[in-house]
Amino acid sequence: MPDFNPQGPQLVYVAVADHIAARIAAGELAAGARLPAERDLAKEYGVAYLTVRRAAGVLRERGLILTVHGKGTFVVDPLPTDEGHQQV
């Protein structure tokens, strides 16, 4: 899994989203798993809370996470696959 580098060429919120996506792909964050609170993720990544909120928006757009009001944010189950676009 790539290291998180907030000084890299990407926008910071995109770098956070990509790193969380890599954690999902690696199985560190399994399908159905609840993500830590956004404020906790902000501390973990050393970024602003709003940066994590924007990263979560990117992950929702990618179909990797789902936020349930009052419950939290979860890795989607089942995870989307690249094969889903092919007909059998």
Q: Domain ranges in the chain?
A: 12-80
Residue 88 has a pLDDT of 37
pLDDT band at 81 (very low <50, low <70, confident <90, very high): confident
Using an 8 Å Cβ cutoff, are 71 and 33 in contact? no
> What are the tens digits of pLDDT across the range 62-75?
999 999 999 999 99
| Residues 50-56: contacts with CB under 8 Å, at least 24 apart | 51/12, 51/13, 51/16, 52/13, 52/16, 54/13, 55/13, 55/14, 55/16, 55/17, 55/20, 56/17
* Topology given in CATH for the domain delimited by 12-80: Arc Repressor Mutant, subunit A (1.10.10)
Provide the whole-model pTM. Answer: 0.83
pLDDT band at 39 (very low <50, low <70, confident <90, very high): very high
Residue 34 is classified by DSSP as: B
| Segment 31-43 mean pLDDT | 96
Q: How far apart are CA 44 and CA 34, in angstroms?
A: 16
